[in-house]
Amino acid sequence: MDHFLYKDGVLNAEDVLLTDIAATVGTPFYVYSTATLSRHFRVFDEALEGMDHLVCYAMKANSNIAVLKILAELGAGMDVVSGGEYTRAKAAGVPGNRIVFSGVGKTREEMNLALINGIRQFNVESEPELKILNEVAISLGSIAPITIRVNPDVDAKTHAKISTGKSEDKFGIPIAKAREVYAIAGSMQGIDVVGIDVHIGSQITDLEPFRLAYQKVAELTKVLRGDGHNIRRLDLGGGLGIPYEQTNQAPPLPVDYGKVVRDTVGHLGCEIEIEPGRLLAGNAGLLVSSVIYNKAGEGRNFMIVDAAMNDLIRPAMYDAHHDILPIIEPDIDADQQQFDVVGPVCESGDTFAKQRTLTPVADGEMIAFRSAGAYGAVMASEYNTRPMIPEVLVHGDQFAVIRKRPSFDEMIKRDILPEWL
């Protein structure tokens, strides 16, 4: 469920007309719903009710500080993968003891930053990282709390570019090697082993891969406890999918996911951490764009819009589907045609949809790409010297710009000419 609905013939974000936002900021723009973000967090949090747990939002999905602030005030922790994300989380008021640091390439500088300013745990991904983290912690007179990310060799049956739990993926250590690496960690002066971490992928629409992975984690927990490790926390990652296509069968509900967690690891007495990103932010956002031209091609109709692949790269990168709606509600019996919906960038990959059946939208009118709240604005660029587009947050009948569109002058002034030019 989201809070983007037609009211009196115009698409609204909660109680705000999208046409009113467009009149203020221009198109294209992203718009996020506070009510949807809040609802999605609560539904996920309630799915783990009765278990000692912390929902750590995966910031890479959408790291605008206003979004982080909403979730933090609801009690969310944060899962960060860079020093920049860590700094954003702190700027949003998240205490260090609710921040988990993931990622395969943490630098000494990032380790220093987190240890000095507070961290819940590092999810360690390799033996070299473990060695460096120990050195950094000792140099600071500190102790780094860690889990070790194990790779369970489970196929999440998702897109190859967002799979993370198979043996050929770059993430974590093989689960068969876990006892050896945990023994090394347990002997280190600057390391405190607190638990186990696992993450098998993103946009997963079948619960069985989670069940298989968590069963392996449960078995490993017992083995490591037998080896003398105080395993008291299980970071189970994120990855639960969302419905990008409204006509498709819906992915599993958070409550069903919560049951898998209870059935597989609920008996171990561990605190559970979950790291949803897309599930919280994805359907809480739209990308709104104007039609520049309708162009008749050879056997094809092209709808050319003012958003482009640099604004929303998922279709170009993953062949991802986003439902497309006209801002002005069409008549129920309106004619429909097939369109290629494309942007203005000089790349064939700048295509949002091919041969999509849509109600025609006139030049100058607007459309909305659904499910754009995750991996949209955060992956945007200024390719073709196209400004980063505004992000807008809606709360009831109010809206505010939470990231403005830079001017061409502001963009160009970031470049620095050397003295010899």
Q: Give me the residue spans of the domains in the chain.
A: 4-31+282-412, 35-281
The yes-or-no answer to whether 4-31+282-412 and 35-281 have a common fold is no
How do residues 198-218 score in pLDDT, each as one tens digit? Answer: 998 878 888 999 999 999 999
The 3-state secondary structure of the chain reads: CCCEEEECCEEEECCEEHHHHHHHHCCCEEEEEHHHHHHHHHHHHHHCCCCCEEEEEEHHHCCCHHHHHHHHHCCCEEEECCHHHHHHHHHCCCCHHHEEECCCCCCHHHHHHHHHHCCCEEEECCHHHHHHHHHHHHHCCCCEEEEEEEECCCCCCCCHHHECCCCCCCCCEEHHHHHHHHHHHHCCCCEEEEEEECCCECCECCCHHHHHHHHHHHHHHHHHHHCCCCCCEEECCCCECCCCCCCCCCCCCHHHHHHHHHHHHHHHCCEEEECCCHHHHHHHEEEEEEEEEEEECCCCEEEEECCCCCCCCHHHHHCCCCCEEECECCCCCCCCEEEEEECCCCCCCCEEEEEEEECCCCCCCEEEECCCCCCCHHHCCCHHHCCCCCEEEEECCEEEEEECCCCHHHHHCCCCCCCCC
Q: What is the mean pLDDT of the chain?
A: 93
- The mean pLDDT of 329-354, rounded to a whole number, is 94
pLDDT band at 146 (very low <50, low <70, confident <90, very high): very high
Q: Are 140 and 116 in contact (CB under 8 A)?
A: yes
Q: How far apart are CA 111 and CA 119, in angstroms?
A: 10
Burial (0-12, 13-18, 19+ Cβ within 10 Å), 101: buried
How do residues 304-338 score in pLDDT, each as one tens digit? Answer: 999 999 999 999 998 999 999 999 999 988 899 99
pLDDT band at 163 (very low <50, low <70, confident <90, very high): very low
Per-residue confidence (pLDDT) for residue 159, from 0 to 100: 44
Q: Are 328 and 10 in contact (CB under 8 A)?
A: yes
Q: Based on the residue annotation, tell me whether 270 is a catalytic residue of this protein.
A: no
Is pLDDT of 88 > 80? yes
Q: Write the CATH number of the domain with boundaries 35-281.
A: 3.20.20.10
Is pLDDT of 91 > 80? yes
Q: How far apart are CA 227 and CA 36, in angstroms?
A: 45
Share of the chain above pLDDT 90, in %: 86
Q: Phi then psi for 340, rounded to 5 degrees?
A: -95, 120
Is pLDDT of 81 > 70? yes
How do residues 271-298 score in pLDDT, each as one tens digit? Answer: 999 999 999 999 999 999 999 999 997 8
Is pLDDT of 8 > 70? yes
Per-residue confidence (pLDDT) for residue 155, from 0 to 100: 67
How do residues 21-33 score in pLDDT, each as one tens digit? Answer: 999 999 999 999 9
pTM of the model: 0.93
From the list 332, 346, 362, 416, the catalytic residue is: 346
What is the residue type of 131? K
Looking at 3.40.50.10860, 3.40.50.300, 3.40.50.720, 2.40.37.10, the CATH number of the domain 4-31+282-412 comes to 2.40.37.10
pLDDT band at 164 (very low <50, low <70, confident <90, very high): very low
- The mean pLDDT of 148-152, rounded to a whole number, is 92
Is pLDDT of 84 > 70? yes
Is pLDDT of 38 > 50? yes
- The mean pLDDT of 114-136, rounded to a whole number, is 97
Residue 271 neighbours by CB distance under 10 Å: 14
pLDDT band at 166 (very low <50, low <70, confident <90, very high): very low
Is pLDDT of 54 > 50? yes
Per-residue confidence (pLDDT) for residue 403, from 0 to 100: 98
- The mean pLDDT of 232-260, rounded to a whole number, is 86
Q: Are 48 and 253 in contact (CB under 8 A)?
A: no
